A and B are shown apart, each in its own frame.
Chain A
Amino acid sequence: MNINATIIGQAITFAILIWFTMKFVWPPLVAALEERARKIADGLAAAERGKQDLVLAERRSEEALNEAKAKAAEIIALSEKRRSEIIEEARLEAKAEADRVIAQSKAEVEQEVMRAKESLRDRVADLAVAGAEKILRREINAQAHSELLASIRTEL
């Protein structure tokens, strides 16, 4: 065990190595590891945020679904109402149409009756005239009694 000047040389080498580590090894490693720790923390925070967002989105979608269901029910109710309205309208329209057709045919029948009556009236007048002619041929001339015959025709 002999101590000699080597000890000085080794102390200098040691000091240089310490200086080198202080300058070139320690700071970049500290920086890299702190940066990574920060990244990991950020990542975890982002994951947490994502989870909260998911919960919120789920709640929102549930709300939207409920709203849509309510709206659909409303639409169905509305259309049912509309359907009965349409049916009622159609029924009324059909009844009106039927009434119109009935009225028209009634009028036609009446007209027909009138026409029949008219022709009957003519025939009756003719018959009466013919009858009267036959009667009066013996006693009277037809011209003298035509006024009387016309008044009879209108009374029929």
Chain B
Amino acid sequence: MSESAGNSTSEYIHHHLTNLQDGHGFWTFNLDTIITSALLGLLVVGLFAWVARKATSGVPGKLQAAVEMIFEMVQAQVRDTFHGDAGAVGPLALTIFLWVFVLNAMDLLPVDLIPMILGAFGVHYWKAVPTTDPNHTFAMSLTVFFLIYFYNIKAKKFGGFMHEVLTAPFGPKMAPFNLLFRLIEDLAKPVSLALRLFGNMYAGEMVFILIALLPFYLQWALGAPWAIFHILIITLQAFIFMILTIIYLSMAHESH
């Protein structure tokens, strides 16, 4: 498709940024996002479950050692940040890291590969990277947002939580301002989580699409460095999403 020029260039870009959708109005489903993320999520989590089920306390194989490295990295982050009983925070952090990582990694596939294959089967739109879909990133960040409230109320009970909302940081006399600040602070968390991931991945994908518009003999000169750099972005964004989730939940667990 890289030969196309002029009008077809914007068509090409637009085509690549259109989801495969089904439904009307709000009740529209981005099928590509749902299918890709579910398949990859089950794949990576299933792989981990398979390795974990066979895990031996003796000398681990290479696959088990790799799984253990990731697991221990996540566990160390949770233990360093989260004081007290971490409960479900560890599994949550591991799920976030793995899922975001594999979904981001879809970015490294050539931008035309999946659309071409599926095009041959009559599917004409396919956004391969679910993390470039704000629906996905907001779904994750809002889930984390609800978990923040769940942990707040679990740790402080409803009364303690309301007391904190109304009195911190300026004291009881400034209750309306405290409430306002708290609202801003809490809303900023899911919005920044979702937009950070979405923005990074969307921009990265956009650059890949633009590189794909170059003549084929020049693509490698920009495509290769960008892809190599993107390995860092992919891992970093997965790590940031995970670590911020842990931090938010540990803040929810402790009083201000």
Instruction: Name A's B-contacting residues (CB within 8 A).
Output: 1-11, 13-15, 17-18, 20-22, 24-33, 35-36, 38-39
Evaluate contact between A6 and B90: CB separation under 8 angstroms. no
Which residues on the B side are within 8 Å of A2 (C-beta)? 28, 134
Instruction: Name B's A-contacting residues (CB within 8 A).
Output: 21, 23, 25-30, 33-34, 37-38, 41-42, 45, 48-49, 52-53, 55-58, 67-68, 71-72, 75, 88, 90-92, 94-95, 98-99, 130, 133-136, 138-140, 142-143
Q: In angstroms, how far is the closest chain B Cβ from the Cβ of A70?
A: 50
A156 to B33, CA, bound (A): 162
* Known interface pairs A7-B139, A11-B143; A26-B29 also in contact (CB < 8 Å): no
Which of B21, B26, B48, B57 counts the most chain A CB atoms within 10 A?
Answer: B57
Grouping DSSP codes into helix (H, G, I), strand (E, B) and loop, the B interface class, with mixed when no group exceeds half, is helix
Evaluate contact between A6 and B33: CB separation under 8 angstroms. yes
Among the listed A1, A4, A32, which residue makes an inter-chain contact with B27, where contact means beta carbons less than 8 Å apart? A4
Which residues on the A side are within 8 Å of B98 (C-beta)? 21
Among the listed B28, B49, B55, B72, which residue makes an inter-chain contact with A4, where contact means beta carbons less than 8 Å apart? B28
Which residues on the B side are within 8 Å of A4 (C-beta)? 21, 23, 25-30, 135
Evaluate contact between A25 and B49: CB separation under 8 angstroms. yes
Evaluate contact between A10 and B140: CB separation under 8 angstroms. yes
Evaluate contact between B133 and A14: CB separation under 8 angstroms. no
Could you name 15 residue pairs across A and B whose Cβ atoms are closer than 8 Å? A4-B135, A5-B28, A6-B34, A6-B133, A13-B38, A14-B95, A14-B143, A17-B41, A17-B42, A18-B91, A21-B48, A25-B52, A32-B56, A32-B68, A33-B72
Evaluate contact between B68 and A10: CB separation under 8 angstroms. no
Evaluate contact between B139 and A11: CB separation under 8 angstroms. yes
Evaluate contact between B95 and A17: CB separation under 8 angstroms. yes
Which of A17, A18, A20 counts the most chain B CB atoms within 10 A?
Answer: A17
